[in-house]
Amino acid sequence: MRTVIQRVKRASVRIGKRTTGQIGQGYLILVGVKEDDSEKETTFLARKILELRVMADEEDKMNKSIVDVNGEILVVPQFTLYADTSRGRRPSFVKAAKPEIAEKLIEKLISELKKSGLRVEKGEFGAKMEVELVNDGPVTIILDSDG
């Protein structure tokens, strides 16, 4: 699994005129699932996300986790994180997991994140979404279960 974590002041996701997820201070997390990913990756990434110390402390240093600041999380499925652009000009997505597998693992990741007690919102798997955010910092971190 691959995630792009953006520290935000606020973020939302809309499908048409319907808002499906909206948060205040916290993380907007784009999530891609690779063809051979399993539940093991969801547990690993959830722990890393929750323990990542990129939230500001009283001196504006990145010393706190999202749990420490009681932040919020918006998870958005993003299969294009596994785009292969090594050949030609059109990306290939053959490394991305099949939709039925990816959706299950993203829901498992969300479930693991919710165990923290934080508010966790989400986009809609397979939908054309409009994602809006106000970046904080900006701080953007890429976490990959491969290392």
* Residues marked as catalytic: 78-80
Asked if 73 contacts 120 with a C-beta cutoff of 8 angstroms, the reply is yes
Helix, strand, coil abundance in the chain, percent, nearest 5: 20, 45, 35
Q: How far apart are CA 12 and CA 133, in angstroms?
A: 6
Task: Decide: helix, strand or coil at residue 26.
Answer: strand
Q: How many CA atoms lie within 13 A of 18 on its CB side?
A: 7
Across-strand partners of 5? 29, 141
